[in-house]
Every structure is written in structure tokens, then in C-alpha cells.
Chain A
Amino acid sequence: MEFLAETFRTAIALILSLDGEVVTAVATSISVALWSILFATLAGVPAGVAVGITEFPGKRLVITILNTLMALPTVVVGLAVYGIISRQGPLGELGILFTPKAMIIGQTVLAIPIVANFTLSTVKGADPRIIPTALTLGAGPFQSVLQLAKELRFGIMAAVIAGFGRVIAEVGVAMMLGGNIRGYTRTMTTAIAMETGKGEFALGLALGIILMAVALLVNLFLNILQQR
């Protein structure tokens, strides 16, 4: 018990001292996660809405695939993207392996199925009259879909939060594609993995506490938005 208590005290001290490496890792984590979720939203929400409001043969198969992709192991995404962006891969010319851009690509791939699926569920649960009503009232097809998205904004927000939760907490993609480079691609999760291995539990714990705090803050913020 003494060990844990002592570790906890050191962790708090580290957080309060705003240790430079901790701050950078936190900023990298948040930044990469935000970019990823931005791109995942741009791709995932329209995909979810499209699958939700249209009927087509094989729709159930598409939904099943989307569900399966939600459980995509992060290391598999890491492996696939690594193969594509390594200098030997098809996109090797870009030279982005071991940069934040590589992590953003990997995490976007991770988040898209989650955002799309959550969006799909809200669309399915929505009042089916929204689009016909909008169309009757003289709105164009695009405007009607926009109206639907407006009605469903909380559901879509939940989709975005779920995606954000997944990417900020994952370590596989960040480690494989970012390379855990100090002050550049080291995130909270890769730092925790590394510090624990090095026996630096206090630093790992400090990062763990911050990671939880960030998740809490994001959810609080969105909660406040929802109550308005």
C-alpha cells in the first residue's frame, strides 16, 4: 500500500509542476485525437446518414460490416496503415511514417466506423416523418437531410464523443505509426506504456490521471451543451 500511496503523491506533484514532457504528451494526444475525430466526423456522419435513410439491397450486410469494423483491433489498423505509408509502401513518397500525420490517419480509420455506426443508430431511431415533411414544405433533398441532422444533433454528438473516447485512449496506432518520439509523437498512452516498462510508475500514473481528467472534461462540456 505504501508503494501505491507514495506513487500517487509523486504523480500529483508531477501534474502540479506542469512537467514539460507531460504537457507535450498531453497536447499531442489531444491534438491528434481532435484532428482524427474531425476527419472521422466528416466521413462517418454522412456515411451513417446515407446508410440510415436509404434502402438498398445488401444494407444489412453493410451494417454488419460496420459493426464488425467497430471492433477493429488498433494494432491491425496500425499494421495496415504502416504497410501503406512506409517508404516501401504505395504512399511511401509522402514520408509521413513516425509523424503526427501518420497517427491522425490511423486514428481516423479507427474512429470512422464508430461515428458512422452511432450516427446510423440515431437516424434509425429518428421520426421517419422528418424528411417527407421537410420535402413537403418545399425544402430540397440536401436541405431536408440537413434538417434531419439538425434534429439529431445530440445523437451525432454522442457519436463524436464515442469516437473521441476511442482514439484518445488507444495505444496501438499511436505506438506503431507515431513511434513514441519524445516531444513529437509521444502521446499520453504511449508514454504510459513506456514509463511503466521503465519502472517509472509515478509518471505513468500522472499521465493516467490526466487522461481520465481530459475524458471527464470533454464529456462535461458536451453535457453542458446538451442541457442548453
Chain B
Amino acid sequence: MKILSRFLFAVTTFIMLCTVASAEDRLKMSTTTSTQDSGLLKVLLPPFENKANCKVDVVAVGTGQALKLGEAGDVDVVFVHARKLEDKFVADGFGVNRKDVMYNDFVVIGPKGDPAGIAKAKTAAEALKLIAAKQSSFISRGDKSGTHTKEQELWKSAGIEPKGSWYVEAGQGMGPVITMATERQAYTLADRGTYNAYKGQKTDLAILFQGEKGLFNPYGIIAVNPKKFPHVKHDLAMKLIDFVTGAEGQKIIADYKAHGEPVFFIYKK
């Protein structure tokens, strides 16, 4: 019995020490759920971590919250997709050195039968109008993320204020919202990256509207301003920015595939 107690004591002490003792440099990055849920960060970050001998702590939230974390100085670097908000973030002095990283596009996904008939729509706004007219279920991110911001822009250009029991505000990340839309056989606006990662096994929803200019979805990375927050790890943040926008990082992004299809595209230099 005594031996068992001692053994357990040793094991618990060991486990307890494991979490607290970590001497490595840690870089905090807030990002959108799409970069994490699509699986990109799992292949993009490890080579950088090896090279710079550090750990990147990823806090995956909506773009709105990701930028807020930067404005509070709680992270060192932000990696998001809402160009207007990003420019404001830099203009307000919270961020420096914004760089384009990659892009993909938004798609409207929904049940294969397409009850609202949006496949025939000419523009994304028209597609949303059809959904609203039919009162087909639509799941909104409802979390001030980049995707949510884009969705609100589209409703605005459609001249509709979505309201009613058919319009569900989930308040969750892209992945959970696709899961929810699948369960309820509803429409939703998704970024192509996350949708591709979910397609097949995790969702039977299909892309019903795509390919409009207004659905362009660019991603940018921004260092939190060290003049405003002297505590941020600016050098390490700049190293990460150089890595993801440099040759090696860009190649990883271009080569990354989910279910055999590319998820993000890089800008031709």
C-alpha cells in the first residue's frame, strides 16, 4: 500500500511539474477559426517552431475577437481575414507591418436539394434574397468573425435585415456552424477552406453558390504594435510573419490540401 501511495505521489508530482515548467519562448497568436479548423496551422507552424526554437500558442476565435485580443495586447500577432477591420486595426495604431498571406473565397452551402433554388442566382445578394423569401433555415456565425462580417455585408447589399425563426445566430466558429447547418439541413456562408476540410465525412451539404467577385476572402497577418505594448514579442512575431509570407511558408500553404483539393491560394509574386 505504501509503495502504491508513493508511486502515485511521484506520478502526480511529475504530471504537475510538466505543465508549469516550460522554458521555451512562446509566441501568442490569435487567429480565425478557419485557419485552425481547416487544418492548415498544423502543417504551417511546426517547421517555424523548429526553426525559431519556440512554441506558437494559437488562440482560435472569430476575426473580431482576434483583433480585440490584439487591441488589448493579450497576443503578439494576429492572423485574420476582414480587410476593412484589419486596416482600421493598423490605422488605430494597434498593429504594424500588415502583410497579405493568402486568399480563398466564400461559398454559400446548403442541402443538396436546394429548397430555395439559389443555384440559379446571379449574385450572392440575390442568393440570400431567395433564402429569405423562402424562409429556408440559415445559420449565421453571429460571432463578429470575418465570415460573419462578410455575411452582414451581403445581407446589406441584398437590402434585407434577416430576422425570424429561420435565421439562426449560432455564436460559434466555422467548424461548429457547418456541423450545425448539416444537422439542421440549413444554408450557411462558409469559407471554402473549412468547407473543403469538412466535405464528405462530416457534412453532406453542397456548394450552391460560388464564384462571385464579392466573395473574395483575403487573409492578412499583423504584428501587434510594440510601441503601444512594450511587452509583446515583436522580434519573434516578425520572424513568424517573414516565415509565412516567405518562400517556405508560402509553399506549405500552396501545397496544403484537404480531401485532395487546395484550401488556400497564395498571391503570385
- CB proximity of A83 to chain B, nearest CB, Å: 11
- Contact of B198 with A199 in the complex, beta carbons under 8 Å: yes
B152 at the interface (CB under 8 A from A): no
Q: How far is the CB of A190 from chain B (nearest CB, A)?
A: 11
Q: How far is the CA of A95 from the CA of B229 in the complex (A)?
A: 12
CA distance A182 to B36 in the complex (A): 10
A166, CB-defined interface residue at 8 Å: no
Interface centre among A27, A180, A198 (most CB of B within 10 A): A198
Residues of B within 8 A of A87 (CB): 72-74, 229, 231
Nearest residue, chain B, Cβ from A224: B1
* A197 contacts B74, C-beta separation under 8 Å: no
B143 interface residue per 8 A CB criterion: no
Given A198-B202, A224-B1, A30:B74 Cβ within 8 A: no
Once bound together, how far apart are the Cα atoms of A225 and B5, in whole Å?
9
Q: How far is the CB of B148 from chain A (nearest CB, A)?
A: 16
Q: Give the docked Cα–Cα distance between A181 and B28 (Å).
A: 10
Judged by DSSP, the binding face of B is mixed
Q: Is A88 an interface residue when CB atoms closer than 8 A count as contact? A: yes
In the complex, what residue of chain A is closest to B28 when comparing beta carbons? A98
Q: Known interface pairs A98-B28, A221-B8. Does A31 touch B16 (Cβ–Cβ under 8 Å)?
A: yes
Contacts of B8 in A (CB 8 A): 221
Identify the 3 closest CB pairs spanning chains A and B, nearest first. Answer: A197-B176, A87-B73, A199-B202
B residues lining the A interface (CB < 8 Å): 1, 5, 8, 12, 15-16, 18-20, 26, 28, 37, 55, 57-60, 72-75, 172-173, 175-176, 178-179, 182, 198, 201-203, 229, 231
Can you give 27 A-B contacts (C-beta < 8 A)?
Answer: A27-B15, A27-B18, A30-B15, A31-B16, A31-B20, A34-B12, A34-B15, A86-B72, A87-B73, A87-B229, A92-B73, A93-B231, A98-B28, A98-B59, A98-B75, A101-B20, A179-B59, A180-B59, A180-B60, A183-B55, A184-B55, A197-B176, A198-B179, A198-B202, A199-B178, A199-B182, A199-B198
